[in-house]
Structure 1
Amino acid sequence: MPYREIARAWEAFHRDGITSPVVRPAVLASWQRSREHAIAADRSAAPLLTEAELFRRRRQNTRLLAAARPAMEEARNLLADAHSMLILADPAGTILETEGDARAVDTGQEVKLQRGGLWCEAEIGTNAIGTALACGRPVQIHATEHFCAPVQRWTCAAAPVRHPLEATVIGAVDISGSTDTFNPQNLAHAVALAHQIEAVLGRRLEMEHEQVLRHFLSKRSLWLSEEIIAFGRSGTLIYSTDRALKEVARRSDRFMQDGRLVALRDTHPQDWATRVAALLPGASVEIVQEDGEEIGGVLVLHAPRRMRTTATETPRESETVSFDAIIGDSPVMREAREKARRMAESGLPILLEGETGVGKEVFARAIHGVRLPAGPFVPLNCGGLPRELIASELFGYEKGAFTGADAAGKQGKVEAANGGLLCLDEIGEMPLELQSYLLRVLEDGVVYRVGGHAGRRVDLRLVSMTNRDLSGEVAAGRFRKDLFYRIAALRLRIPPLREREGDVLLLLDHFGALAAARAKLPPPRFTQAAREALAAYGWPGNVRELRNMVDMLVAMKRGEGEVDMVDLPPEVREEPARTIGVGDLKAVEEAAIRSAVDACGGNLSRAARRLGIARSTLYMRLAALEGKAS
């Protein structure tokens, strides 16, 4: 570089505004911007933030600081005797961290090249940090290329750090030292460090997205009739279906743009629910946290029937399921299907028994679809509501029945199921004091709303579901005997997946094809080792656990290569490959439960999600195991 000529060009520019071709275009453009900012050529140092403001900006950039920590620690050794230092700045040019040769760090304080210094062009003119941020490209500024004379004792090379997904500039890394330390390789080094930080951020985002996705998959069974979108920080889209995206666009043309939830981009997670309620009526948000920090969320677009609140509106009829659509060729499954078909034709109340995740609701919907016209299918999870809300949900209420009641009153599930089928899931969780009211409705065919005196006649079929031993609950006095005999005129046990020999691979291919079709990806291909491991696994969460695992694999693999052992969840990889017999089913279940609880550090909520079962079910199983041990 003709530095003497650049020095003369600098003087001519400041004195007469003359530009010279010896000055690089990027530097000359920066000089002109600096003049527009009214920067004085003799400005001695950059402004310095207060400690409180620096603390605030460091808090805003904790993820950038964490991602840069390995590079900063490496610079401590590499630059220790190089009279240079490594600098990390935020997108506003605030120096967040410095590391390197102690002499360079001390000298930098003379011009406030230190933590808290503001090195954007608008504050100190042309410099590597500010110019790299202004033009969005790596740049090296040496000696008299700096706009302010007191800074010309320095040579600096900086590169912007970009968000790994959005490509927006989120900071800069800079290598600075005295002019005699000039090294043209410093710019390449700065670029490499910027890429290193971006890679760390990218891996962190992938882990967060996987966490959000796992949360979404663990809750998907609660939102079977809703469209759902999983998103990360700043509204980054992680998973969605075309139908969900179209529904968002239908409800609000301002909520999503260019494949991201722009309405949440600059909104604090605490305000996500308010923002969603304002722009997407009938939608809700469930925030996902990791170590107490919000990393994303799940946007639930509730179906119209769940938004209806007045007594004059009725639920939309649900899609029916045929018995032939229930996947499974094992002898126990064929027998269960045939029994269910005969029971459905009888019209008598049916109790479906089986572990969580075996597919009891699928059987209930198939029973519903046997008779045509089928009428509405109305499900209610008796264990998914607070005790004080079950009565109003099940029987409805009149206006003014209680504080917060809808002014027009509300139809309950029993009324909504008139002419169709009422499906009561987790019937064993129903409070004892409400069981007598349900029995009276079933006996008389008349329902009385909470706070009301007028009876409404209903004609419905009933399917109840439980993962408990209700006869044992009756013996323990926790469930009414007369109600038990009323709802269990016919009883059908749905076999767990571990008893359905050969069905695992059928379901694996079925769910894989469905998940791939939703994501517009090729169906997943499994290695022989992976298929054998999946077939041998005990599946304590049953079909639901298998479906969630397949969805996760499709989302994470994205059609890239075969699914091998390394891709499978650890509980599948670690289980011994052996044939499960009926005699040791309880031992397998006990081992799976204890392994999940240990793996989650005793956190029963996480263990239940890992097993794919309800938390109440896990409590019951653990109580049984403790009783056995004593």
Structure 2
Amino acid sequence: MMDENNSTALCGLQFVNKERWEAMTHNKERFLRNQLKDPRHFPNMNQAVAESWVRSRKLGVNPLDPLCCKYLDSKELKIVLDKNKLLIDITENLFNSFKKLVDSTGYLLYLFDKDGVLLLVSSLLYQNTEYDWLVGNPGKVCNESTVGTCAHVLSMRYKRPVQIIGPEQYCVALKNMIGSAAPILDENGEVIATLVLNQELVNPILDSNYQTLCIHTLGLIMAMTEAIQVQIELEKNNRYVRSVNSDLRLAYDTLEATLDCIDEGIVNVNQTGQIIRMNRHGLRIFNLESNQIANRNIREFLDENSCLIDFLVKGEKTSVEEIIRTNRDEQSYIIDIHPVLNQVTCQLTGAILRFNHVKKINAMVNSRSGAMARYNFADIIGESMTMKKAIDLGLRFAGLQETILLSGESGTGKEIFAQAIHNKCCPQGPFIALNCSALPRDLIESELFGYEAGSFTGADRSGRPGKIELANGGTLFLDEIGDMPLEIQPVLLRVIENKQVMRIGGRSYKKVDFNIIAATNKDFERVMAEGLFREDLFFRLSVLTIKLPPLRERENDVEILSNYFIEKYCRKIGRQVPRVQAAAKKKILRYSWPGNVRQLENAMIYAINVSQDNIITLECLPDAVLREKSGELNGKIATEREPSLISMASWEKTAIQMALMRTNNNIPLAADLLEISKPTLYRKIKTYNIKL
């Protein structure tokens, strides 16, 4: 069952793509036809909605009912209305402030008490129409036992804002409506009522602009509930002067309270940039008091290269990134510009500017793009001494300011280690990973440092932050660092040293604060000897180094990991864990696993899927595993052939391979082991075409 305090399950603020829309509709049809007994296990289902469907069915709610519902009798209704008089009065005045909006759009605003009794409805627009049932009168009881799943029912249950769309609502009568609801809480955080906005679905529902509008309606409801809560608290504590009761004054005060509840800077300016008013958060951004706004111009706080005023003069609706300078410091903000026109003359009078700190936007982008670390040290499996030593170093290095270099063969789990280190030292920050070998050389610079608008053909109009900016406050993980282009390396070194970054096409540096973890499977001695990597950058990246051991050096970890992967995959697909035949187990333990943990996991998944009678036999293992014979190189020199039948070249090649394997491709160590010079070893590696 879902935790009722789990807000992430009820976000509602996600765009509906075609796949999810079709899935929701299909799920609803199957559920109504009793083909879907438990919708909680079906893909693309909101768990809160699915659980409410199940409860609604158990409560006996008829999904085909036209929502006539039941009403309180006059005596019961009077008791409820008297009890909620202050709440109703405040909400009614707020509804009147939004009357033009509601009447012109066809929206319906409702106020329900904590038991689902309708206290107030905003519009009579639908009365005497086919939607007359939708309006209702005070006293109408609309809770989960009468109408089933709907926005205000879930909002009150989970004490969170909720928005649900057509087919998610239990009753078919609501299939063409979108419900947005937010709870009204008392000083103890308990629900006393809920505010609901219903809007009719329009086609196409998948249009991004329409979906954005739907998200904004939920934001409006949230702001209105905040305003109501503030007003109730003010009334209870006599903080407002009782003489200021006119509708105009109440509307103005409600607007002020609403704006102050928004955690974004809202600034009203005229077309020349003169500041007219700003909300509380805006005052904090500009380090001003409310009495210091008069005769101040937004130009005072902008960089000399700012283009904000140009957009104000043109009356252009757009978003720009600007640096705001105060007497304290400089901060980057994303500013949304919304022109304001005179309703009579349609002339431009100014604009509303909405300020969001770049850190906040970056955090949202990282969250939506999956830039989060999932693994912790507890998730790393292994009992070998070499792995325990690596884990111990990771725990000790986490939280230190120095850069960390993870070295190891492919498949040894370098990124998992990086995520575990990040979650140990700064779990709230972003984890930004960049594979230096996976991007074309001409794109890696813009990916790493970002770019300003118009820097090159095809660039975004408003520019784009790079991985370094997105990692601010968290960790930047540079995978396959040995493949970073040589010409970018000095720029990266400067960023690491100065903690400042300049975008491509930019004119000023931005301060950044992040941890760096780099990873490589290359021999840096050889790479630097070939002139492909700067020594100063290598030394800066390898202040703290952790060597991850290959699987063949991890003692009994092969058996532990193979059992873990078998159980994990069987649990995922809902299958009984198979028995591993002795011959197959022997092969698994003796195989060298050149692809390390990644290859072992893939081999176990393959074996499970080809096994029969719930037994993994030797034949179930992949061909690559079966082809390795006991006489092939597997951590030992081949012994099946007679020495007299092996050429000197073969002996020499085998000896080099053995030395490289034992030293994990470390050229200096391997040369010492073979008692030859490094240049000689490089030459023989090239002669025998040995892959490192």
TM-score normalized with structure 2 length: 0.41
Greater percentage in helix: 1
Query: Which structure has the higher relative contact order (CA within 8 Å, separation 6+)?
Result: 1
